[in-house]
Amino acid sequence: METLKICGRIQEINTESIQTCLISAYQKGQVFEEINYCMECGQLILFQSKILKASGILIREVKSIQSSDITEGLEISGESIIMRFIIKADKERPTHNIIYGSNSNTCFVKTYRETDSIFMIILSREFYFNLIPHSYESHKEFASHVINETTSKLFVSDLPIDPLIGGIINEIKKCKREGLFKRIFIENKVQELLLIQLELYLHQQKYKDTVGFNEDEITKVCQAKLILDSSFTDAPTICALSKKVFLNETKLRKDFKSYYSVTIKNYIISLKMNYALRLLCEKKHNITEIAEMCGYNGLVQFSVAFKKFYGCSPKKYQI
């Protein structure tokens, strides 16, 4: 049975930091094995590490707690898809990327400073294609590299981690479920992370030839849209949204309208109205409840917005 071999070593003390094997086959019913350990040198703790491992997937979280820099070399032997999320100790933005490593060894060298951390999800080729089918439109180019066994990155440069991605990572870290429930929950969250990253990639490709916009600006606007998609009933203000994606408020307003042909305000309204219509058609809630569920302060405000958007009152859909 094919396996992935994962080995790590701390350069300063020439000490092994991880050595494990991962079965490549996708076995959906297998539960996670959990391993926690501290890397020590004498009385000093260098960093703490937590591993979750099952067939086809290994999740590793490492946090440095040493005041001086330490460097870890990590080597993965065998075909793997690596989702890497790096949190820096200083004011640098946290970043993420997806890397495909072919059958030859894939090596990473990471220098940790105090409070630096890295969250890494390593997937076998079989596991990855069970989560994201070959035919999925937004990753055809990346999938072709996997099929042709060509080492590559999804994004040319690492992208900033937005609150949506950060929230999913925290859900994985804090998962208290056990056994098969934990496996199902985490697998779904890993798939959600992949879909968000691939959607960002798709938007980059769509707009990469747009005159006047660079890749970083495109990524930030796409991240703003994803945040709104997941929080439109309690949407952040444009000022708060601009801070979340590290883009000037005026620039965010302008670029969002250029990319999506709609203002941020009207986009939020459209999300709320589509949600409201779906709830009305289900006939499980009264109009006052739906107004609250859609984030409106009272029935009158909701009814006015609904009539302006659809041209009729919400009562029509409860007949």
pLDDT tens, residue by residue, 226-236: 888 888 888 89
Cβ–Cβ < 8 Å for 160, 227:
no
What are the structure tokens assigned to 276, written together? 């409201």
Give the mean pLDDT of 59-77.
81
Task: Give the residue among 291, 279, 283, 290 at the shortest CA–CA distance from 318.
Answer: 283
Which of 55-64, 142-151, 167-176 bottoms out in mean pLDDT, i.e. has the lowest? Answer: 142-151
What are the structure tokens assigned to 292, written together? 């609250």
pLDDT tens, residue by residue, 15-47: 788 888 889 998 888 899 998 877 666 555 567
Task: Give the residue among 242, 206, 210 at the shortest CA–CA distance from 223.
Answer: 242
Strands 106-112 and 95-101: unpaired
Q: What is the pLDDT of residue 223?
A: 83
Q: Is the pLDDT of residue 205 over 60?
A: yes
Q: Give residue 81's identity as a one-letter amino acid code.
A: I
Q: Give residue 155's identity as a one-letter amino acid code.
A: F
Q: What is the pLDDT of residue 172?
A: 92
Residue 151 pLDDT class (50, 70, 90 cuts): confident
Could you tell me which residue, 135 or 175, shows the higher pLDDT? 175
